[in-house]
Amino acid sequence: MEGNQPIGSRWNFDRQNRKPPKGKLTLPEALWFEPDSITQDVINFIKQSEAFQDNQNYWLLEPFRWAVTRQQALQVLKFFIEKR
């Protein structure tokens, strides 16, 4: 950067990668998990909280299908690299 401008006066030197994909792009479904008992206990605890009761429109607790352990996170990473 030179001040607030890119060196060479161009932001993008790779125009080929800025074109939209040809044809219909379909991605495989993401890798999701069902909540284990600890995660379900936490979801239930949050549902009982005053903060949740007062602001239900701002919370999306279910479906909760995110990785919550290191092992699950590594599975998601591997799946993303190999499939998505």
Return the amino acid letter for 32. W
Q: pLDDT band at 76, cuts 50/70/90?
A: very high
State pLDDT tens for residues 17-26.
667 778 888 8
- For 61, residues 6+ apart whose C-beta sits below 8 A from its C-beta are 43, 46, 47, 52
Which of 78, 76, 56 lies closest to 66, judged by CA? 76
Mean pLDDT lowest among 8-12, 31-35, 37-41, 62-66? 8-12
The pLDDT of residue 43: 92
Q: pLDDT band at 15, cuts 50/70/90?
A: low
So where are the chain's domains?
Answer: 30-83
State pLDDT tens for residues 50-70.
888 888 777 788 899 999 999
